Amino acid sequence: MKLLILVALFGLSIAQHNPNTKYGRTSIVHLFEWRWADIAAECERYLGPNGYGGVQISPPSEHVKLTNPWHPWWQRYQPIAYNLCSRSGTEEELRDMITRCNNIGVNVYVDVVINHMCKASNGEGTHSSCGTYFNANKEDFPSVPYSYLDFNDGKCKTGSGQIENYSDIYQVRDCRLENLLDLAMEKDYVRGKVADYLNSLIDMGVAGFRVDACKHMWPGDLSSVFGRLKTLNTKWFPSGTKPFIYQEVIDLGGEPIKASEYFELGRVTEFKHSAKIGTVFRKWDGEKLSYLKNWGEGWGFMPSDKALVFVDNHDNQRGHGAGGASVLTFWDSRLYKIAAGLMLAHPFGVTRVMSSYRWDRKIVNGKDENDWMGPPSYSDGSTKPVPINPDSTCGDGWVCEHRWRQIRNMVIFRNVVSGQPLSNWWDNGNNQIAFSRGSKGFIVINNDDWGLNETLNTGLPGGMYCDVISGDKSGGSCTGKQISVGSDGRATFSISNTEEDPFIAIHADSKL
């Protein structure tokens, strides 16, 4: 009996921390700004077959349409209502996508913007993605409906009505973030409207939520909203399954609001992981790969079972959010692949892979003047489809990092080694490291300016393995490097520092 109660309590406390992925899949890919129709096709033709556990989608809620600048990516972070027509498509397309992704075992996680509505400066009109009328001057959003009574103006104590000082936790929660109209989430009515929105998505079959701007909402208010959520749709999930929740809290230290305030509600984005992985691979601040030996909590990160980790996100990849210049992105493709490989090989956290679009980067005095640019679009601002080239890369400016062989194969590696401890650590005291995940997988990285030539204990059963970085296992042979592991588990590795991909990874499923 006591044991049962313990199990029940434990189950409750971790429920919203579990991504509920299927078939031993472990990673999420953020298909930033993709259209629903393209995501549905990608689930079927690529994500399912290649072991991706889920996809994070851009906000599906009705948003403002901006013209100055021309349809920036952030217009989707300015809601007008919870109608489900957006730059990514219609409600029908959204529903079809969720159904098709679920049918192939790929979960859908929705980016939800619930701290605020649009900025006051948007005035009045129907310039919104569903064409719904709103009046931002009067804080009137009749399609929800919200009125001025549902906003925080009375609660905010700053002169400007905006957040002026991040060291005052009251203004960070109760004032306007960049003049975005701040919802009064202490109100039962607002909590109910937000919960209805999230529950409508749960009914459609989504598996969880990436909750935007959580630093700007009180944990108590979020707790009430999350407490009103239904369990997941039993067409695709076991009955009683709670939605996975990961909260965007940018906590790099130095502010009074801590990521830890949100741990009991769900997972939290670990921005220190993103900032530090860039610093280490760039060798800034005297960092070295050998210091990764205690990567994780040893680096001041949050506990692994609370963390959602990534190399970059849609915000900090354009120099916008936290992390600054150290953040690695597809623009730094060589280092980016190794960093993503390290993240996916390492047991820390739930991993999210970024999938981006290119924009006309224009860096002037360290700032990207085109950081606002939205996805590849037609002249009317509508998003272009994602064309797939014969070589499986994406066209029309879509980067598709998740299709890069090195990253895709490390997503598979993570599934194969899931649950295995980090073992057989080796380093050269500099930027050459290696480790295994139990007896299921082994990775070797050379980020030094000289070659790596070592015989290492892999922990793997003897045999011939295909390196999944330089190629694939295809039929009975390897298209890239081949690694011979002796019956004692030892293998010899050579990695020149001038190789395009100076790392090697082998695992149980890449054995010939």
Counting contacts by CB under 6 A, is residue 183 touching ligand 5J7?
no
The one-character DSSP state at 43 is I
Counting contacts by CB under 6 A, is residue 77 touching ligand 5J7?
yes
Helix 91-103 with 188-204: angle, nearest 10 deg: 60
Residue 254 Rama label (left phi>0; alpha psi -120 to 50; beta): left
* Nearer of residues 74 and 146 to ligand 5J7, judged by Cβ: 74
Counting contacts by CB under 5 A, is residue 216 touching Ca ion?
yes
Active site residue 212: yes
> Helices in 283-381 by DSSP H: which ranges?
333-345
* Nearer of residues 198 and 468 to ligand 5J7, judged by Cβ: 198
* Nearer of residues 180 and 229 to ligand 5J7, judged by Cβ: 180
Counting contacts by CB under 6 A, is residue 182 touching ligand 5J7?
no
Query: Which residues, 300 to 329, sit near ligand 5J7 by CB under 6 A?
Result: 315, 320-322
Counting contacts by CB under 6 A, is residue 114 touching ligand 5J7?
no
Q: Using CB under 5 A as the criterion, what x/- string covers residues 155-194 for binding Ca ion?
A: ---------------------------x------------
Given a contact cutoff of 8 angstroms between Cβ atoms, the answer to whether 311 and 339 are in contact is: yes
Q: Could you tell me the smallest distance in angstroms from the CB atom of residue 217 to Ca ion?
A: 5
* Nearer of residues 317 and 431 to ligand 5J7, judged by Cβ: 317
Active site residue 401: no
- The helices-and-strands tally (H runs, E runs) of the chain is 9, 24
Strand partners, 433: 427, 445
Residue 248 contact among Ca ion, ligand 5J7, none, beta carbon within 5 to 8 Å by kind? ligand 5J7
Ordered DSSP codes for 198-239? HHHHHHHT--EEEETTGGGS-HHHHHHHHHTPPPPPTTTS-T
Which one is catalytic: 139, 174, 248, 472? 248
Token duo for residue 466: 């295909």
> How many angstroms separate the CA atoms of 261 and 307, rounded?
13
Q: What are phi and psi of 357, to 5 degrees?
A: -120, 155
Residue 106 contact among Ca ion, ligand 5J7, none, beta carbon within 5 to 8 Å by kind? none
Q: Could you tell me the smallest distance in angstroms from the CB atom of residue 200 to ligand 5J7?
A: 20
Token duo for residue 77: 């972070």
Residue 322 contact among ligand 5J7, Ca ion, none, beta carbon within 5 to 8 Å by kind? ligand 5J7
Which one is catalytic: 212, 287, 401, 467? 212
* Nearer of residues 61 and 406 to ligand 5J7, judged by Cβ: 61
* Nearer of residues 39 and 217 to Ca ion, judged by Cβ: 217
Q: Contact with ligand 5J7 (CB under 6 A): which of 40, 113, 388, 410?
A: 113
> How many angstroms separate the CA atoms of 200 and 100, rounded?
18
Angle at 154 between CA 152 and CA 160, to 5 degrees: 85
> How many angstroms separate the CA atoms of 125 and 121, rounded?
12
> How many angstroms separate the CA atoms of 215 and 222, rounded?
11
Token duo for residue 222: 């979020």
Counting contacts by CB under 5 A, is residue 38 touching Ca ion?
no
Given a contact cutoff of 8 angstroms between Cβ atoms, the answer to whether 62 and 46 are in contact is: no
Residue 250 contact among Ca ion, ligand 5J7, none, beta carbon within 5 to 8 Å by kind? ligand 5J7
Chain residues that interact with Ca ion, rule: CB under 5 A: 115, 182, 216
Catalytic residues: 212, 248
| Binding site residues, ligand 5J7, CB under 6 A | 74, 77, 113, 177-178, 180, 212-213, 215, 248, 250, 315, 320-322
